[in-house]
Every structure is written in C-alpha cells, then in structure tokens.
Amino acid sequence: MGLTVDHLQVCYRTLRGDVKAVDDVTFSIEDGEIMGLAGESGCGKSTLGNSLVRMDVRMRQLGGHVELDGKELPISDAKAMHDFRFKEVSIVPQYAMSALNPTRRVGRMVAEVLKSRGFDYKSALPELERRVKLVGLDADILKRYPIELSGGMKQRVVMIISTLLNPSLLIADEITSALDVSTQRAVGEMLLEFRDRNFVKTTMVITHDLSILAQVADTILIMYAGKLAEKAKGDVVINNPLHPYTQLLISSLPEVGIRHDEHTLVGIPGRPPPLLNPPAGCRFRDRCPFAFDRCTDEPPFVEVKPGHSVACWLHGDGVLPSGGV
Amino acid sequence: MTVLGMDEVAAEAGEPVVDVGAGSGKPRRFEFLYFAVRNKKLLFGLSVVLLFVLFAVFGPLFVRHPMLNYYIPFRPPSKSFWFGTNYFGQDVFSEFVYGLRESLLVGLLGGCGATVIGMTFGFISGYMGGLIDEALNVLCNIFLTMPVLVLLILVAGFLHHTSGLIEGILIACTTWTWSMRAIRAQTFSLVSRDFVGLARLSGEKSRQIIMREIAPNMSSYLLLVFILSFGGAILTAASLDYLGLGPSNGMSLGIMMQQASDWNSLQLHLWWWFVPPGAAITCIVGGLYLANVGLDEVFNPKLREL
Amino acid sequence: MLVLDNVTKAFKTGTFGGGTLPAVRGASFEIRPGEVTALIGESGSGKSTLGKMILRLTPVTSGTITFEGTDIATLKGKQLREYYRHVQGVFQDPFSSYNPVYRADRVFATIRHSYFPGVSADEWRERVDKVLESVGLNPVDVRNKFTHQLSGGQLQRILIARALLLDIKILVADEIISMIDASTRVDVLNLLSNLKTRGLGVLFVTHDLSLGNYISERTIILRRGVVVEMGATQKVFDNPQHEYTRMLLTAVPQLHKKWEGELGAEAEVMGAASQDQDRGRPGRYSKSSLHPLAGMRGRKGRRAHAVATEREFAAGLLRTDTYLRTHEEVPPLIAIEEDHFVAIPTGAR
C-alpha cells in the first residue's frame, strides 16, 4: 500500500522542444510515511508533485506508471483523475494561501469545494470544526474573509480544506516558504498531527528548505536535474549523505552557530544542466569534485544500504576509481 | 516577496517553471514575431485594415469621374459607375475613395493625438504620484464628463468652417482620458519594480527613467492603446460627421452616411450610397479591434495556446 | 558612518488617507565601516522600509538619517548623486532588478553615463572586467547576455560589481540571496562578507537568523517596526534577552536539531508567566499542567508538548505585539552588557 511511482517521465512542451522535468523516476512511499522531496529550483520536484494530482496543459506523461494503494493512478487522464482528486490524492499547491478567493468567506469556500465532490457541508461541519480547533484556530474562522487572516492562518485553512476528505496521498508544495518562523513550526507540526491522526495516509512534502524536512520528514528524497539523487531516512540524509551533491549541499547551508570567520562554507560552483537537452551520463558530473571516467555513463538509482538509495558510481556497485578505498 | 517569486517570474515569461538553461540567445522580440505571424486574429484583422488602407492610397488612380461632377442620379452600381450615383448624381465611388482617405487621416490624427496626450499625462501622473497625480486626475475627470458634442457645436459656431484637421485635434483633446488612465495604471505597477529603484540609484533623471526604463517595458501595451485609440477616433469622427458636426468642406465616410440619411436613401432604396461607407467603417474598426485581441495574445504568454 | 536617529516611517492608509500605518518606529542604530550589520526581522517588521529609507527611495516621516554628518533628507540633485556614489543597494529579486528590455550589462552603462563621463571606452571596459573578476565572475560569461540567460547568483553578483565600481562606503543588501539556489547562496554570502575587508559597511537585511549569524558582526532584531534587541552578534545569539529573540532562536528550523529540543524550560517560563498574568496568582506550574499529555513519553507526549509550546509562542508574540501596539512611545533600549541592548520591557520574566 502507499504510493508507488515506477519509471515516471513527465515533460513540458515548450517552443524549443520538450523539457524533461521528470526523467525516469522510481520510488515508493509507505502508508503513514512523510517523505520530503528536496532539490533546487528547476530540478523537477514541483513537476513531479503536480503531475501526480493535476497535469498542467503544458505537461505530458511520456512513460511510467503510478500506483496508489494498489490501484493505478491515471495521471494523464484528466477526466479519470477527477474522481481521485481530493478524495484519494490532494494537493496544497504553491501560493495556495494567496489564492484564496477574497470575496468568499472561508466557510462558503469549503462548502463549494465539498459540493463539487458531492458532499454536504452541513454534515461535514462538525468534523470541520473539530479539525479547525485541532490546529489551534477558532471555529469562527469559517465566518471570516481571507483578508482578515494572517499568512499562517490562511495556510492552515488551506491545509484543512485539502485534507478534509482524508486523502490517501497529500502533496504539500512549498507550504512553509512564505511564512514566518513561528508559523512554519505550526504548519510543520500540523503535517505531523494529520499523519498521526490518520487524516492523511502518505504525505509528500516538496520544498527547497532542508531544515524543515529535518524536522518533519521521515525520509528525504533529493532530486537533481530531473533525476533522483539520493533517498534515505531523514537523519541519514542530513548527517551521512552519500551522494556528492547532497554532501556539498548540506555542507553549504549556514546554521545558527556557524560563523564565516571561523568556518567558511563553500557552495557548489556551476549550474544545473539544462533540461531541454540534458547531457549524457551523470547530470552532476560537471560540478562534482569526485567525478571520474565511469561518470560518463548514467548511474542507476539503486539501494546500496538498507533503506538508502543513491545514484552515484562511487557507491553503485562497489567499483571505485583506482586509488580509492 | 519570497523564494517563490523566481518561479513566478519564470512562469510569467511563458517558460515552464523549469530552468531551460542558458545559451538561448533570442531576445523577446523574435518570440513576439514568431507568435505574431501565427495568430489568426491578428493576421485577419490586420489584412482587413491593410486592404482598406491600400484602397485609400491607390484608389484615386481608379477614379474615373471627378467627385464634384454631376451625372444621372439614382443610378445603381454599373460598369461605368462602380458604386452607382447618389441623389444628386455624383459618383459614389469617388466620394467613397476620398471619404475613406479623409476618415483614415482624421482617425490617425485623432488617435495619435489622444495617445500622445494620454501618454504624457499618464506617465507623469503614474511616475510622480502625489499632488501632481491628484491634479491630473481632476483634469481627467473634467474631460471625461465634458460633453464632446456641445464643445464641437460651440466650436462649429465660432469658426466659419471646420476642417478635418480641427476635427482630428478636437477628437484628440477629448478622448485622451481613457488612454491616460490605462497608461497611468501600468506605470504605477512598473514604478514599484526594482529596476526603476536601481535606475534612481544610478543617478538617472526622472525624464530618462520614464523614457528609457518604463516606456520600453510598456511598448506592447502602448501599441495596443494606440490601435484602440485609432479605431475609436475613426468611429467618433464618423459619428460626429453623421450629426453634421464634421468638416464643412470635404468628404468623409461619415458625411456620406449623413447625406445618405438626410436624403432618404433608405426609403428610396439607394442602398449603394450608405452601404459602402457603413461597411467600410465597420470593417476597419472591427478589424482593428480584432487585431488588438490578437496582439494581446501575442504579447501575453498566458493567453497563448501552444 | 551612517547613523539612524529615532527614525519613524508611517504610511497613510484609509480611504481618504486618514489613518496611518507605522512601518518603522523610533529606530536608532549605526552602520560602521568594515562591519556587516544584520537587520533581522520577519514579514511586516519594517526591515525593507528601513533599507529603502537609507537609500532615499522613500522619505522619512520623522527622525534623521545622517551620513558622515549630513542629514540625507536635505540632499537634492547633484548632492543626491554624490550620495549614491557612496551608498548603494542590491535588492531581493535579481530578475526584477534588471530591465528585461535591455541586456544585463547595461547596468554598468547607466552608471558610466552618470558618474564617469570622461572615461574612455577601453578603460571603462577594463575597469568593468576587473570588478567582475573581483566578485568571482568571468567577464566573458556575462557580457552581452540578456537577463534570462543568466542565473540569479550571477545577476546578484553583477549588481554588487556595479556598486563596487562606484567606490561605495555602504551597501544595503536587502534579502539578496533568498531567491538564489541554495547551493550558490553561500558564495554570494561569502562575497558580502569579504566586502568588509575593503572597509565597506554592509547592512544585511534578512529574515533568516542563520545567515545573519554567519556573516554579521552586529545584529539588530526588528519586530513590527521596533528594534527589540541589538548588539554584537555573538552576544545577541548566545544570550538573547528579549522574548521575541528567544522565540526566534527556538523556533527556527535547523538541520541538526529537532524542534522539541530546548523547549521545556522556555515553555515552562513563558507558560508560568502567562498563567500568572491570566489568573493573577503566583506560583509555579509544572510541565505536565501545560497539557494533560505533556508529561508523557513517546509520540503523543512529544506532540502535546509541541502543541503547548506553539501556543506559548503565539501567546508570547501576542504579548510583544500588544505592548508595541498599545504604547505610543517606543520602548527604550537598555544596555544589558557591553554592546548588547534590549528594549525594555522584554516580555520574559
């Protein structure tokens, strides 16, 4: 059970050709697991998340297979997905809290969403109020307009709406980016709360901010240039990453307590490769300090330790460059 | 603004929220051209207008009968009189050709004038803000509520004769309000952008900032405003002519329609007198508006269909 | 070098401009040469407004900003141009800072026009190349390119290079790295830090504590337009006094420390304080009374504890905000120790 993604390929159609934002991605999330999907801008993480719920008019699935709770998820068929959306899969999209209709009271908005799925607002109201109180808001928030709410309150309202029908899969796209530090924590704790109370079975948290994932995610999946780089349990990825990209990325993040004079951090030189015509071989090759001749072939994403998968020849099949250990 | 802004910007530029990579050297202008030649509305609208413009330019070469000569009246279209003759026996075709030229010129003058005045006031108002903005707004409101008709009647009363030039100027002076408002709104949104702030930090003077930083970013919008002003001016001129407030000497499409209506061409079934000018005005203005919609799609990536 | 004295900025609000929204109230601090000063505040704290006031992009409502002895509000025309020769800014969104109609290196041409009219084309080219290299860019990579062909990091560096061409003394960096990819952020940060070796004073405006901690010598914490704590970075971070600062430090998500870490003591103190306020009764309250499950071990206990802590944060923020809102005068800054000032009252007991 849970989510299984098998060799998924999704591209964007543009003037200049097809941009392969998600290039042959395979992974799975168990029931009750919160998986963080991290990467920089342009790595394809948002595309991956969005393609599982709603394919944009510019997106196209080129191949692959997605299964949720044992059933196939017909992500390219918009009509078929309509039945799944909101009930089985749900998304809190980027900028969701800015997208609340300013002319509707919150309660009315919820009623409209429920009605579109064939549910009655009045019968759902007690549960709705219970959840609103659970996340630390007042029940009378349903009578307010979005403009009266703060950013954190809006984000929480959006999350409640998205999870009202207890979806099996929740995709949270950059839900903490625009928030103050104190509300980031509230929203993060909310994700954990929802999982613990079984409102949501599997959660995929998409973000560029690894420190949030360090707090809420059970496993972390790192994406680079459309491909998967590393997947492991949260603290393993943070403390003992294997992929050079992850290692360099984590060591370049400033933390409270590190000062420039004492310990100068170093970034990763260069830029991610263009996804329009990606280079052959390992996509990180040009920026990787450990690249060797094997890297001209694309490394497979394999499990090198229990629960820890990497796409890197340094750990792939035990073959290391000469002179290595 | 947050980290999300970058993706937003990329999405606004029409690119998917994925880095397509460096090295794509073509600037936006070529992108516009690419879409422009593929947009049906734009092509169709422009062709219609172009047709009439060519007709106006080369028409006099085909005029066989001078406009002011009188021939046999009430003649329907025939081989010698392509558009027939009117109540007085004048050649409708030659009237039409010269009337079309006049209408287009007055429209151009009025449209250009309205756009220029609107641009000037709009830029100043949008960039300066504060009291100057308030004052110009008051001016704009005065002109909005001023009855153009009354003004023209007064002018007609004072001047012995009005010409197309005066009509054009009057249209410019009374219809600039719409374009001023539109340009002012766009200028507001651009002034708050960081590159304008940076221009101020670079020591650029206000006039330079408006001309070099703000206006070029609005070039597509200004083009749209001009096209709409042009179409609107033609329509306004035709309406004024129809009411008898047009040029006292000369011919225009509106004057043709006025004469046709005054001399009962409808009842007398002289359809060839009012249908050509009416159709011409409709087609030109309609074509301009259609081209405008098409151009909007070309310039705005979100409206495009790939 | 640049001194702010009781600076206030109030925006007019309301239909007829009747109301006022105070964005900044009574801010007083200094930017010194050879130092990075971090201005830390969340959204709505007024930090960007302060940056804009220093750059003369928005006028000051009351108070003075003095640069090398001159009140900058009095500068006009040529004097203002001279001011910009010494004080420049870099903004948050690199893609918005460039006019999309032109190529990226036009930013150099505009200052050449205003500030270096007599310089020959060849010499100008040399100077630009040299300054580009000094910020870690290869001139060949960035010359003649349009904005969309360059990355956020490159664009920000070009803007820093532009400022360096002018031989500035103060640079206002307003959230300059929040829109750059995480892997290249730290390089721009390092660049900013290196500027102080040239004698520049940098005002680094950010919402991110870890960044402020990384490069700044002095830190100013801003809440709702009021300076609540300021001083040497080490002292502020090691010994936070104001309730808001402490909340910030405990709530910020970190890579190697979970949220629940040090909350116990904090929650207890703040919980006790609020209970006192509410019920007017003295006395200590044990951890378990915060929430029935708070004392329990395991997941449920952790969650209940976190819920309780989150409520304490909200209550603490509310206390600070209510005080700031209801009191006209800005709370004065008192020296706790050398080079460490806190606004009194601090909220925490």
Partners of chain A (3+ Cβ pairs below 8 A): B, C
What is the arithmetic mean of pLDDT over A309-325? 65
Q: Quick: pLDDT tens for C15-35.
A: 666 677 788 888 899 999 999
Last residue within a domain, chosen from C238, C261, C277: C238
Residue of B7, B20, B26, B298 to mutate, testing the A interface (most A Cβ within 10 Å of its Cβ): B20
If asked whether residues C28 and C137 sit together in one domain, one would say: yes
pLDDT band at B95 (very low <50, low <70, confident <90, very high): confident
If asked whether residues C211 and C299 sit together in one domain, one would say: no
Residue C307: predicted pLDDT = 60
State yes or no: cis peptide before C345, omega within 30 of 0. yes
Partners of chain B (3+ Cβ pairs below 8 A): A, C
8 A C-beta contact, residue B73 and residue B86: yes
d(CA C310, CA B56): 76
Residue B295: predicted pLDDT = 86
If asked whether residues C208 and C300 sit together in one domain, one would say: no
> Is A266 in the C-facing interface, judged by CB distances under 8 Å?
yes
B23–C149 CB contact, under 8 Å: yes
A211–C306 CB contact, under 8 Å: no
Q: Quick: pLDDT tens for B20-37.
A: 333 344 455 667 777 778
d(CA C346, CA C245): 10
Query: Residue A219 pLDDT more than 90?
Result: yes
As a residue count, chain A comes to 325
d(CA C82, CA B300): 40
If asked whether residues C148 and C286 sit together in one domain, one would say: no
Residue A324: predicted pLDDT = 40
Query: Residue B16 pLDDT more than 50?
Result: no
d(CA B107, CA B235): 8
Q: Quick: pLDDT tens for C292-303.
A: 444 344 455 556
Instruction: Kindly provide the b/e burial profile for residues C68-96, where b requires at least 16 CB atoms within 10 angstroms of the residue's own CB.
Output: eeeebeebeeeeebebbeebbbbbbbbbb
In this structure, of A164-168, B80-84, B160-164, C336-340, the range with the lowest mean pLDDT score is B160-164
Task: Give the gap in angstroms from C-alpha B111 to the nearest C-alpha of chain C.
Answer: 26
d(CA C63, CA C22): 13
- What ipTM score was computed for the predicted complex, to two decimals? 0.78
Q: Quick: pLDDT tens for A44-68.
A: 888 898 888 888 888 888 888 899 8
8 A C-beta contact, residue A167 and residue A89: yes
Say how many domains are in chain C.
Answer: 2
If asked whether residues C210 and C162 sit together in one domain, one would say: yes
Query: Residue A303 pLDDT more than 50?
Result: yes
C84–B2 CB contact, under 8 Å: no
The letter for the amino acid at A140 is D
The helix (H) or strand (E) run that includes residue A89 is strand A89-92
For C286-337, give the DSSP string.
-GGGGSTTTT--HHHHHHHHHHHHHHHHHHHHHHHHHHHHH-SSPPPEEEEE
Specify if C334 maps to a domain.
no
Which has the closest alpha carbon to A200: A111, A123, A86? A86
d(CA B172, CA A30): 70
Residue of A15, A56, A207 to mutate, testing the B interface (most B Cβ within 10 Å of its Cβ): A15
Measured between CA atoms, the residue of chain C closest to residue A197 is: C300
B38-58+84-303 CATH pick, 1.10.150.50, 3.50.50.60, 1.10.3720.10, 3.20.19.10: 1.10.3720.10
d(CA A66, CA A169): 12
Of the two residues C294 and C40, the one the predictor is more confident about is C40
Partners of chain C (3+ Cβ pairs below 8 A): A, B
If asked whether residues C45 and C151 sit together in one domain, one would say: yes
Specify if C298 maps to a domain.
yes
Q: What percent of chain C is modeled with pLDDT above 70?
A: 81
Q: What percent of chain B is modeled with pLDDT above 70?
A: 87
What are the extents of the domains in chain B? 38-58+84-303
pLDDT band at C265 (very low <50, low <70, confident <90, very high): very low
Q: DSSP 3-state assignment of C227?
A: strand
What is the arithmetic mean of pLDDT over C235-250? 86
What is the arithmetic mean of pLDDT over A143-159? 86
In this structure, of C66-75, C258-267, C281-290, the range with the lowest mean pLDDT score is C281-290
8 A C-beta contact, residue C127 and residue B40: no
What is the arithmetic mean of pLDDT over C312-320? 73
d(CA C69, CA C76): 16
If asked whether residues C77 and C196 sit together in one domain, one would say: yes
Tokens 């600076």 belong to: C7
Residue C208: predicted pLDDT = 85
| Residues on chain A touching C300 (C-beta within 8 angstroms) | 196
Query: Residue B18 pLDDT more than 60?
Result: no
Specify if C46 maps to a domain.
yes
Tokens 């997208």 belong to: A99
Specify if C346 maps to a domain.
no
Q: Quick: pLDDT tens for B104-139.
A: 999 999 999 999 999 999 999 999 888 899 999 999
> Is C159 in the B-facing interface, judged by CB distances under 8 Å?
yes
B4–A271 CB contact, under 8 Å: no
Measured between CA atoms, the residue of chain C closest to residue B4 is: C179
In this structure, of A183-187, B134-138, B252-256, C108-112, the range with the lowest mean pLDDT score is A183-187
Question: Which residues does residue C8 pair with via DSSP β-bridges, in sequence order?
Answer: C62
Which has the closest alpha carbon to C251: A136, A236, A256, A39? A256
Query: Residue B232 pLDDT more than 70?
Result: yes
- Average pLDDT across chain C, whole number: 79
| Residues on chain A touching C207 (C-beta within 8 angstroms) | 180-181
| Residues on chain B touching A56 (C-beta within 8 angstroms) | 16
Query: Residue C82 pLDDT more than 80?
Result: yes
Domain residues for C263?
A: 249-329
What is the arithmetic mean of pLDDT over A224-249? 91
If asked whether residues C199 and C262 sit together in one domain, one would say: no
Last residue within a domain, chosen from C238, C260, C284: C238
| Residues on chain B touching C114 (C-beta within 8 angstroms) | 202-204
**What DSSP designation does C38 have?**
E
Specify if C341 maps to a domain.
no
- Average pLDDT across chain A, whole number: 86
**How many inter-chain contacts (A to C, CB under 8 Å) are there?**
132
A210–C252 CB contact, under 8 Å: no
If asked whether residues C273 and C157 sit together in one domain, one would say: no
If asked whether residues C173 and C33 sit together in one domain, one would say: yes
pLDDT band at C270 (very low <50, low <70, confident <90, very high): very low
Tokens of A228: 């998967």
Last residue within a domain, chosen from C212, C238, C264: C238
pTM value is: 0.78
Measured between CA atoms, the residue of chain C closest to residue A179 is: C43
Specify if C347 maps to a domain.
no
d(CA C218, CA C34): 11
Nearest by CB: A40 against C181, C189, C233: C181
Q: Quick: pLDDT tens for C184-226.
A: 888 888 888 888 888 899 999 998 888 888 889 999 999 888 8
Measured between CA atoms, the residue of chain A closest to residue C141 is: A270
Report chain B residues touching chain A, CB-CB < 8 A. Answer: 2-4, 6-8, 15-24, 31, 34, 306
A252–C310 CB contact, under 8 Å: no
pLDDT band at C281 (very low <50, low <70, confident <90, very high): very low
**What DSSP designation does B284 have?**
H
| Residues on chain C touching B213 (C-beta within 8 angstroms) | 99
In SS3 terms, A11-58 reads as EEEECCEEEEEEEEEEEEECCCCEEEEECCCCCCHHHHHHHHHCCCCC
The CATH number of residue C111's host domain is 3.40.50.300
Q: What percent of chain C is modeled with pLDDT above 90?
A: 18
Q: At what angle do helices C298-326 and C263-279 cross, to 10 degrees?
A: 50
If one counts every other C-beta atom within 10 angstroms of the C-beta of residue C342, the result is 25
Residue B160: predicted pLDDT = 67
